[in-house]
Structure formats: C-alpha cells, structure tokens
A and B are shown apart, each in its own frame.
Chain A
C-alpha cells in the first residue's frame, strides 16, 4: 500500500487534482476522454494517471481495447486522517502553552502536575 508521501505528492499537482475531480464526477473515463476535456495532451494524461495509480488513487480496468479509470478514494481518507491527527496534536500543544501563560501571569508559576486551576 502506498504511503502518505506518495498520496500527498500525487495530489500536489493541480492537473492531477483536475483529473481526480473529473474521475469523481464520471467514473470509467478513458485517457482520451480526459485529454478531450483537460488542456493537456493524451501523453500527459497518461503520465498523470500513472502517478495517481502509483499513489493508489485511481485504478485501471481493461475493457476491450480501452482502459477505463476509476477513483479509489481510500488514500484520500488517510490523508484527511493525517490532517485530523496533526490538528489534534496542535490542540494539545497549544492547550499546554495556554495553561502555561495563564498560570505564569496569574500565579507566577506553579509546580508540576498541578493540573487545571481556573476560575477559583
């Protein structure tokens, strides 16, 4: 399974994000379809589809002589989870910082493990 770096790397490119959105709206598009609606060549589309596929964001399915592409959103969920986790870490750190400033202002510092001392 591709790592988050591959996922974020793939999504860092604006054209690849456009390809993703096209596939989200119309699953099963071919590279030619995509080249028809995006301002890039079929070769460029193929390259972008390759990068998205490596990141696990699209899957290819052969149908006769055509290859159809579909979005696989699971890595997007992992990416969202990363953002949620990072946000939660900052919430904890900033809460420690907030407590430190409110206690050092009001009480001139306090011992370790004193916990919350508010409103008294």
Chain B
C-alpha cells in the first residue's frame, strides 16, 4: 500500500462517465456541494473548502489534480459492464513499501 486507492464500475459508457467526473453540475451530486472546476491544465479548483489546481488532463481518460496537501488521480477505463473509475489519493509521494507499511500497521495494533 503506497496510497489510498478506490475503484468502482459505473454502468454507463465512457462518455457519460467523463461527464459525471468533470461537469460541475454532476460533481455537485456526489463530490461536494460547492464546486469550482474546469477541465483545463493549470486551472484552479475548489470543492467545498478544499482548494487545488488541475495538473493533468487526458480527455476521456484521466484527470490529476491537487487538493489541500494531497494529489488525486481519477482514471476511466473500459469495462464489460460500463466504465471503471479508479481514484487514487496520495500525500508527499507516499511510496512506503511493504516493510514500512507493516511497521505502521504493527504500531497501530500495538502502540508502544
């Protein structure tokens, strides 16, 4: 585990999935109440009280942006039942590797 990753299969075609993750009216339905977002590299964004910048856009496929202290990547992929939506959020290039993750887990279970 190097970061937080989640994925979901949306029962809609890619084109519709792209709308769901890029159009402010759609984002208001599932992401945040207040949305300021433009699908354009370098554009500032705001989701409720989180601010950031759009860093990378590959239309129909990928959006990467910062918000607060994190970096978020959204990816869309074709899937038999629609479109797979993969979300990744990480902080400070958090590549921990298995040993450190195990150490952190152990520390969480048995605090010194």
Contact = CB atoms under 8 A, between A and B. Distances in A.
Question: Are these two chains actual partners, yes or no?
Answer: yes
Interface of A: 4-5, 8-9, 11-12, 14, 17, 20-21, 24, 71-74, 76-77, 79-83, 86-87, 90-91, 93-94, 96-98, 100-102, 105
- Interface majority SS (helix, strand, loop, mixed), chain A: helix
B30 A97 contact: yes
Contacts of B8: 94, 97-98
Contacts, number: 95
A79 B104 contact: yes
Contacts of B29: 96-97, 100
A88 to B, nearest CB: 10
Contact of B103 (A9, A21, A87, A96): A21
Contacts of A83: 1, 3-4
B43 interface: no
Interface residues of B, number: 35
Given A12-B93, A94-B85, A100-B20, A20 B10 contact: no
A97 B20 contact: yes
Interface string B60-97: 00000000011000000000001001010101111111
Contact of A90 (B4, B92, B95, B105): B4
Contacts of B30: 93-94, 96-97, 100
